Structure 1
Amino acid sequence: MARKKKNIVIENLTIEAVAAEGKSLARQDGQVIFIEKTVPGDVVDVQIRKKRKAYSEGYPLKFHKYSDLRIDPICEHFGVCGGCKWQNLAYDSQLAFKQQQVEDHLTRIGKVELPELSPIIGSVKTERYRNKLEFTFSNKKWLTKEQIDSEEVIERNALGFHVPRLFDKIVDIETCHLMADPANAIKNEIRSFALANDYSFFDIREQHGLLRILMIRYTDAGELMVLVQFFEEEQERIDLLMNHIKDKFPEITSLLYVINQKKNDTIYDQDIITFSGKDHIIEKMGDLQFKIGPKSFYQTNSQQAKILYDKTIAFADFKGDELVYDLYTGTGTIANYCAGQVKKVVGIEYVEEAIQDAFVNAEVNGITNTDFFAGDMKDLLNDAFISEHGQPDVIITDPPRAGMHENVVNMILKVAPKKVVYVSCNPATQARDISLMDEQYSVTKVQPVDMFPHTHHVECVILLELRG
């Protein structure tokens, strides 16, 4: 017989601080409780959802007092869409909590001696700052309890973002405040056309439906990319929609589509079809131009990206004669950006198409002292590679959220460059990696940078210098 779950409710709990993944935390009898949809200063009754020996997780049942740190969120979808969990928190408070998050991770996970952290650099824009968004088509629109109980016939097709913890439910987004116009107009027009012409929206459980993902990218240079991902191969209906988009939005400079029939929606191994315009867009950073394809990684907050890379170069303090390795180079943005200040840059990246773009970016900008290689970092960065391409004086590393593979950390320790500049979007894995390097490297500078307002995410640039 299954054990019945206890219905545990804790009353009048004061929220003390922010925690990971956009949650807040409180304590009762020495145990930490992680609570969603709250901010420090709230006083709430909490329904416990999950109880463990070391901690519990819950959600608010009733608010007795709202925190003075709260503000009114600007988005009508706040609280359901999982994209901007801190939109109800004043921006100054967001920055303070992100600063504390970096310090806590480096102290508790890294357990290394730290200099005083530089104050976090806030985002130039706090709305419409993203240059890329992906919206999901679904035939399982998320409904409110009132809609479920209603006898009305409700349209179940949706185009928007996933509901947290519900992989098959999509919030139908009318206006997203993360991206500048005409992103919302494009999204809404495509949805209207699809509904009017009885296009099928994707069913992620049953794996059928024509429309799957809509990606929109734009650049500060004024170029606009739209990529529609289809699941089923209905060419006549595909052409009809793509022509409609082309005619309705002539400002689109790169109109693409892909037919992806895999179980997941990644497109790195898929053939992208250029329907109209170019197969890429161009972004400017400083005096340089960067080619961005549909598979390319590029920082999603363009203005903050320049600040981030300027800080990276400042930490490296180049003298002009260095050999630099840029690990996880992407489209070669950092490598090409710093090339004019060093002897040579060697960039390594897993995605082959990104490396092709990196070469193009070097050529477009007349840069001749960069070289790029595609392959799995943990396999490619080895003794033979170092022997062939030289001993780096400085390593810049900007890994994905999972951080660096242990083999990569060990290779950096073996090569022992004078400086390592570690750029990370996840202070927890950054702290873990730095702890593995502590015997040989000391942390001498730490600079948090906010790339994603209204979220708990924070970038951090750290300078590590060889001891002795």
Structure 2
Amino acid sequence: MSRKKKNLPLIENVEIIDIAAEGKAIAKVDDLVVFIPYVVPGDIIDLQITRKKNKYAEGKPTRFISYSPDRAEAFCEHFGICGGCKWQILPYQEQLKFKQKQVIDNLTRIGKIELPEIQPILGSEKTEFYRNKLEFTFSNKKWLTLEQLNEGVNFEDMNMNALGFHIPGCFDKVLDINKCWLQDDISNQIRNFIREYCFKKDYTFFDLRNRGGLMRNIIIRTSTTGELMLIVVFYENEREQREDLLTTIADAFPQITSLLYIVNEKANDTITDQTVVTWKGNDFIYEQMEGLKFKIGPKSFYQTNSEQASNLYKVTRDFAELTGNELVYDLYTGTGTIANFVSSQAQKVIGIEYVEDAIEDAKFNSKNNGINNTLFYAGDMKDILTQDFINEHGRPDVVITDPPRAGMHDDVIESILFAEPKRIVYVSCNPATQARDLSLLDEKYKVEKVQPVDMFPHTHHVENVVLLIKRQ
């Protein structure tokens, strides 16, 4: 017997008072904190509670009584459905204010860090079309909007195929995207062309539940050099249909300099373990920064806001205060972007990264740029960065670390504490896990400088760079 669902209350005339760490806004109802999406501080709403716990609740607006004077007009037709760019209803300067607050709250509340004066967040010059990489998913289970449902959809006659973004909380549903404001408009042109061609040819779209369908994903990468990479991921290995589509794409978009494909028949969408086939052009594109060229392959990690990445790395280099005599360890080096970027001001830089293909790109990037004072190693960070490794290669004067959102493994932190570098520059895309790691480093290091950097306008995400100095 199923449990009877509780009737949760509708509360009238509620004011939104703040923004929470994960981007949802906050209201207080009888001392209960309620988290609400798609509203901004100053909005007055009628609030439907959707989930209730002892110390907090979640809800959604059912009616806007009045709008905040700080509210902006959403510019994207898909706002509120696709789950991205949730803060586009907040003016950009307000976004920056709340991101700065998020960094301070995480470092002080989670890390218990005694903070120096934090520099004002570095905003992004581009707030639209700023990404250099997007991935879109094919699905035979199109998400229908309320407007479509209210029109009385005939499901038997409707084309239920879609190419776009997954709906949050509905793993097998995809919202068909007409125009996305995140990447150069060539991305919209390519995506819409492929979708229409697949409709015309009656190609099957991926069925996530039942594991079937020809078309699975596309990944589009652009660069500041003007190069363009398209990766088409198929689920079924149908040669004739695949070659027909790829030939048509190549003819329609001669500006694509790297046209690649993958046949991915496994359960998940990750491509790190998949064979990539070059259909046309090169198997890579280039990015450039301060005269350096960086090779970006289909599996490479590179900061998705190219212009702002330059500012992020300049802050990192400034914090490192290199004189030309230092041994630098660059942890989670990716394609060696930071390692190569700082190499001209260091004696030697050692980069470590989990993805072997990325390390090969890092080595290529050093050679291609005439850099001969770098070494790169591939493997799990906690297995590579050991006391034996440090004893063999030398104790670093500076450690630069740029880990994934989960932060650093405890073993990695122990190895850094053993190495005892004079300075640690910690670059993070998640101030919460960064704060946790800083608290573990606190026994030997104090926070000297903090510089937030906004890489992702219209989202709650924020990068943060922290300089730690070894305690005397």
Taking structure 2 as the reference length, the TM-score comes to 0.98
AA aligned to 2:460 is H
**AA paired with 1:231?**
Y
Q: Given the alignment of the two structures, is residue 406 of structure 1 paired with residue 443 of structure 2, yes or no? A: no
1:320 match? 324
C-alpha displacement of 1:199 = 0.4
> 1: distance between equivalents of 2:201 and 2:337?
42
Q: Which amino acid aligns with 1:214?
A: I
SS of equivalent to 1:182: helix
| CA deviation after TM superposition for structure 1 residue 20, in Å | 2.8
Question: Partner of 1:46 in structure 2?
Answer: 47
Identity %: 60
User: After the TM superposition, which residues 338-353 of structure 1 pair with which residues of structure 2 at under 5 Å, given as runs?
Assistant: 338-353=342-357
Indicate which of 382, 390, 394 corresponds to 2:398. Answer: 394
**CA shift at 1:383, angstroms?**
1.1
In structure 1, the partner of 2:287 is 283
Match of 1:133 in 2: 134
Instruction: Within 5 Å, give how 1:216-227 maps onto structure 2.
Output: 216-227=220-231
Residues 176-255 of structure 1 aligned to structure 2 (within 5 Å)? 176-255=180-259
Tell me what 1:427 maps to.
431
Distance in 2 (CA, whole Å) between partners of 1:443 and 1:10 is: 44
- SS at the partner of 1:444? strand
* Structure 2 gaps, min length 5: none
- Superposed CA deviations along residues 30-60 of structure 1, whole A, max 9, x for unmatched, are 2211111111111122222221122111111
Which shifted more, 6-15 or 271-280? 6-15
Q: For the residues of structure 1 that align with 2:74 and 2:147, how far apart are their CA atoms?
A: 22
Cα distance in 2 for partners of 1:310, 1:429 equals 23
Check the 8 A contact 2:18/2:25 in 1, yes or no: yes
Is the contact made by 2:27 and 2:33 (CA closer than 8 Å) also made in structure 1? yes
Provide, for residues 89-109 of structure 1, a one-character-per-residue CA deviation record: whole Å limited to 9, x for no partner.
Answer: 100100111011111111111
Paired residue secondary structure (2:202): coil
Higher mean alpha-carbon deviation, 328-337 vs 40-49, is at 40-49
Alignment correspondent of 2:363? 359
For 1:84-95, list aligned pairs within 5 A.
84-95=85-96
Q: Is structure 2 residue 310 aligned with structure 1 residue 309? A: no
Distance in structure 1 (CA, Å) of the matches to 2:333 and 2:14: 46
Partner SS for 1:143: coil
Structure 1 gap segments, 5+ residues each:
none
Match of 1:417 in 2: 421
- Distance in 1 (alpha carbons) for counterparts of 2:381 and 2:7: 47
1: CA distance between counterparts of 2:301 and 2:272?
11
1:368 partner SS = coil
User: Under a length normalisation based on structure 1, what TM-score does the superposition of the two structures give?
Assistant: 0.98
**In structure 1, how many angstroms separate the alpha carbons of the residues matched to 2:280 and 2:347?**
40
Q: Distance in 1 between matches of 2:414 and 2:4?
A: 47
2:8, 2:51 within 8 Å by CA — same for their partners in 1?
A: no
More moved, 60-69 vs 99-108: 60-69
Range with greater deviation from structure 2 (157-166 or 146-155):
146-155
Q: CA deviation at 1:313?
A: 0.4
Distance 1:303 1:146, change over 3 A: closer
Structure 1 residue 168 and structure 2 residue 169: aligned? no
Distance 1:157 1:193 in 2: 12
**2:387–2:418 Cα contact (<8 Å) kept:** no
> Residue type matched to 1:456 in 2?
H
Aligned-partner Cα distance in 2 for 1:101–1:33: 18
Deviations 1:136-194 (A, max 9, x none): 11111110233234144332111111111111111111111111131111111000100
The Cα of 1:6 is off from its aligned counterpart by 2.7
